Structure 1
């Protein structure tokens, strides 16, 4: 069995991390490379031509990287295809991405569309937890915290409390004008999207 066939399973990111990555992709001004050959060539420029560094990053052999760069292999298996897309998009247009992140963290904040189970610390029948679909703004302060946690390699579990706080502030307490002291937690996220 060749090393092309002996690929490790792809690591799965949570829904919040995936939503943040999708939001960044939406700010691209040009499409990222699509073919495996173009992606390998692009990623090789980012590793300063080091096939060894790129092979380690993708979890494949140097020979596999060389074959894709040369075009002798063209259709990667599912795990490698996902790694190529993720690595390419994480390196694509860093200045455009940085500008959108900076603007969200300092002035415009972000929008969030989420369907999740929200529960509250208050009592009463209207405060019983239930699934809700919410669209609301996230302040630049919370946007900055979320983006900094993401950049620092935070897990899905690390991000949930801060996203819940951000939604509580803007949607449930309306920026501190009502329901002071309310705390909402959200779990069982069905769907989430962020927009810069």
Structure 2
């Protein structure tokens, strides 16, 4: 695997992880805290009231956390703001997120929409590789594999392979058309959206 392939795989993994995170945010029944103070208060409860562990989690000093909690500071720098949003959303409504993941893995499946390079046939045929816009409803078994890989911290290639297999089985190998076990190339992902 070349350095370019590794970089491409890392970008694809980031797009898949971002797609899953956006899909989970769409499940929220209440909006996550918006102000820096509210986000700090929420995250402090997740850290069992410890400002020290919250400061370590956010990569700031304990004094900075205390300033936001007291209201002395209200406008975080860009890095801290992004970290606050990311950490708050990752902890927000865990039961709603778990129920959505369970439903997708047991009965509902996922809807994956993307624009990427797909192909499995020789040049000059309709199956030849090209950039395609694809939107498919993948089965619950594929959804379970993708979500399990994401939860287990799968490597770039493992997560990529799980999504590629789900799309290939659903889009290219539809119900016994003689293409079972087909090797589909899935690369150069331009965008990817996932819905529960």
Q: TM-score, normalised by structure 1?
A: 0.88
Alignment: residue pair count: 184
Residue number in structure 1 paired with 2:5: none
SS in structure 1 of the partner of residue 75 of structure 2: coil
Q: Distance in 1 between matches of 2:191 and 2:57?
A: 29
Residue number in structure 1 paired with 2:67: 67
Residue number in structure 1 paired with 2:122: 123
Please state how far the C-alpha of 1:157 moved relative to its aligned partner. Answer: 3.6
Residue number in structure 2 paired with 1:101: 101
Q: 1:81 to 1:157 in 2, by over 3 A?
A: farther
More deviation in 103-112 or 61-70?
61-70
Residue number in structure 2 paired with 1:4: none
Q: Distance in 1 between matches of 2:176 and 2:68?
A: 55
More deviation in 151-160 or 82-91?
151-160
Please state how far the C-alpha of 1:162 moved relative to its aligned partner. Answer: 0.8
Residue number in structure 2 paired with 1:5: none
TM-superposition CA deviations, 1:48-82 (whole Å, max 9, x none): 11111111111111111111111111111111111
Q: TM-score, normalised by structure 2?
A: 0.88
Residue number in structure 1 paired with 2:7: none
2:131 maps to 1:137: no
Residue number in structure 1 paired with 2:78: 78
Compute the RMSD of aligned alpha carbons.
1.6
| Structure 2: runs of 5 or more not aligned | 1-10
Query: Greater helix share, 1 or 2?
Result: 2
